[in-house]
């Protein structure tokens, strides 16, 4: 198979200020691509007409759809309408607009939460739509599943080289550290840091501590995205994960050690656990020659260092920022 996105091509990265989008921009520019971006203050991707006009004027060779309204269990529970409707509108605007303006190459980024709550582990791409979703993030998952189906529809009906990638839990520089809306890993970094600074003898974490989660540094994902853009052109989603997981208790202990918190760690089983386990089967992308390079502890340490040096930003999600 030839290269589907040659070096020097113009790539519009939707969501370039977020955790994922910023990492993809860094990687694309380092590899010699010309990156096109627009901030939320310049272009509301939920606005189909404005998005179409922008794509027509910018005329990118490819689009990476990394823009989304995202958050953890608390944010998903509080703002289900936002997580469903914002993501549907963004996806419809960008994917439909890309086709209408002649963009032949597009990468849509989803999430491992698209798979059934009790999917067989490790989760293969064939598990999609084979069982009930995890209720705590179902609106977001349904929106992402709709994006996958939209991509497949454009492949089928119009022969577009549009593809979908499903990353596992991501972390790294640019993450969201707002305690009400962040995912588990940045929330733990901030909570243990604050507890250490305040001299708190104990940190109580949500749930039982037994669910298992897989984590991937966002720079590893960015490398995977470039590999996919250059070489991959198949129907359906392709998983991108590290291939290993650990319990939330083990994750908490690792973060505490990196941050330097020496107090007690306990758990509140009255709080939701979410999906019992989410480990991705990454065999398909491994066949393309990609493999993660950044170990979890090293990645957490680098993320913590970035957060401190950046002035401890919270990075509130779109759902909370509008309120």
Residues designated as active site: 140
Whether residue 17 is annotated as binding a ligand: the answer is yes
Q: Say how many Å lie between the first and final Cα of the chain, rounded.
A: 48
Residues 6+ apart with CB under 8 A from 231: 1, 3, 4, 288
Whether residue 110 is annotated as binding a ligand: the answer is yes
Whether residue 170 is annotated as binding a ligand: the answer is yes
Whether residue 252 is annotated as binding a ligand: the answer is no
Whether residue 20 is annotated as binding a ligand: the answer is yes
Whether residue 109 is annotated as binding a ligand: the answer is yes
Whether residue 207 is annotated as binding a ligand: the answer is no
Whether residue 168 is annotated as binding a ligand: the answer is yes
Whether residue 21 is annotated as binding a ligand: the answer is yes
d(CA 224, CA 218): 10
Within 10 A of 156 (CB to CB), how many other CB atoms are there? 10
Q: Are strands 202-206 and 237-240 parallel, antiparallel or unpaired?
A: unpaired
d(CA 241, CA 93): 28
Residues at the annotated binding site for NADP(+)?
15-21, 109-112, 144, 167-170, 183
Binding site: which residues? 15-21, 109-112, 144, 167-170, 183, 191, 206, 213, 273
Q: Residues annotated in the binding site for substrate, as ranges?
A: 191, 206, 213, 273
């Amino acid at each position: 198979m030839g290269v589907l996105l040659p070096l020097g091509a113009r790539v519009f990265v939707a969501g370039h200020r977020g955790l994922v989008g910023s990492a993809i921009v860094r990687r694309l520019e380092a590899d010699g691509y010309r990156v096109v971006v627009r901030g939320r203050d310049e272009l509301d991707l939920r606005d189909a007409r404005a998005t179409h006009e922008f794509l027509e004027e910018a005329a990118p060779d490819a689009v990476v759809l990394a823009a989304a309204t995202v958050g953890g269990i608390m944010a998903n529970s509080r703002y289900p309408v936002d997580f469903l409707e914002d993501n549907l509108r963004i996806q419809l605007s960008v994917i439909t607009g890309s086709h209408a303006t002649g963009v032949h190459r597009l990468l849509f980024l989803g999430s491992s939460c698209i798979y059934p709550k009790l999917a067989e582990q490790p989760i293969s791409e064939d598990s999609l739509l084979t069982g009930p979703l995890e209720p705590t993030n179902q609106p977001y998952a349904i929106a992402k599943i709709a994006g996958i189906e939209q991509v497949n529809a454009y492949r089928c009906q119009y022969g577009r080289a549009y593809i979908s990638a499903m990353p596992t839990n991501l972390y790294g520089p640019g993450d969201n550290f707002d305690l009400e809306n962040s995912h588990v890993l940045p929330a733990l970094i901030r909570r243990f840091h604050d507890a250490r600074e305040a001299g708190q003898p104990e940190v109580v974490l949500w749930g039982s501590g037994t669910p298992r989660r897989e984590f991937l540094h966002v720079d590893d994902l960015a490398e995977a995205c470039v590999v996919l853009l250059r070489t991959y052109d198949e129907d359906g989603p392709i998983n991108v994960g590290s291939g290993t997981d650990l319990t939330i208790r083990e994750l908490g202990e690792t973060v505490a050690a990196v941050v330097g918190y020496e107090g007690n760690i306990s758990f509140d089983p009255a709080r939701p656990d979410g999906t019992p386990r989410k480990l991705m089967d990454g065999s398909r992308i491994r066949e393309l020659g990609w493999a993660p390079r950044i170990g979890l502890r090293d990645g957490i340490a680098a993320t913590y260092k970035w957060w401190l040096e950046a002035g401890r930003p919270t990075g509130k999600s779109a759902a909370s920022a509008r309120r």
